[in-house]
Structure 1
Amino acid sequence: MTYTLTVRDHMMIAHSFTGAMFGPAQQLHGATFVVDAAFRAARLDEHGVVVDIGRAAEVLRGILASLTYRNLDEDPRFTGVNTTTERLCAFVAERLATAARAGELGRDGADLHAIAVTLHESHIAWATYEVAL
């Protein structure tokens, strides 16, 4: 059995891609992503929750704030890589995992078994990355 709690936010970024397979997306363009962060646990804590919703939303908002309204082509954290939807999922998920391990979600991160981040690029396309804790 697994419980999942999900919080949602969004981010707006600019970026371009390297490689002919990306066609017109090789040019600088903007993207707006709806971001879902799902926290998974086998059991609820003593308060009956997976994580504190307010804390989870706040941590996610902080991570996204470091990306939104920025040209990711100029961000040293992404030097030499295409900032694909999949790669951005992993970036956000790994930072949420770090926050969970540090106890920033109102629960010991060791009690969680995974965090999954989904970036919705549109109503018909999205990607997910799940990190085990």
Structure 2
Amino acid sequence: MKPDACSIGLFHGGEVLLIQRALAPFSGLWTFPGGRMESGETPLECVKRELFEETRLVVDDPIEVLVETVGEGAKTYRLAVFAAECPMRAPITSHEITDWEWVPIADVHAFRTTRNLCDIVEACAERLGLARTAP
């Protein structure tokens, strides 16, 4: 089944970029940049567009890591999660983001995140060949 939303874990060394959502769904929670696919868009096109719209960051070759079902209440989405290493460290965020922070991979559990984000961060880091750093 084709995804209808995409997100991306950006990594710089042993850190991952987390953004805090300003709007529903997931308002106030920390997660990856991303959003819903537009008509005729591929998951790769979607994740690159959403990343740029939300952070003004660009990555060349994101890797698709997994697809999961996410949602809030009765509304659910099939979310394709990508991962990439990020050459830039300072996003310029949109109105959809309240805050952002580069977080050591092992410290993600200390944030109020979307469901399963710690496991997803680990899966992304492993797929990128980064050393396992979680406790």
TM bucket by the smaller chain? Answer: under 0.3
Higher helix share: 1
Greater RCO (Cα-Cα under 8 Å, separation 6 or more): 2
Higher strand share: 2
Give 1 or 2 for the bigger CA radius of gyration: 1
State the TM-score, normalizing by the size of structure 2: 0.25
State the TM-score, normalizing by the size of structure 1: 0.26
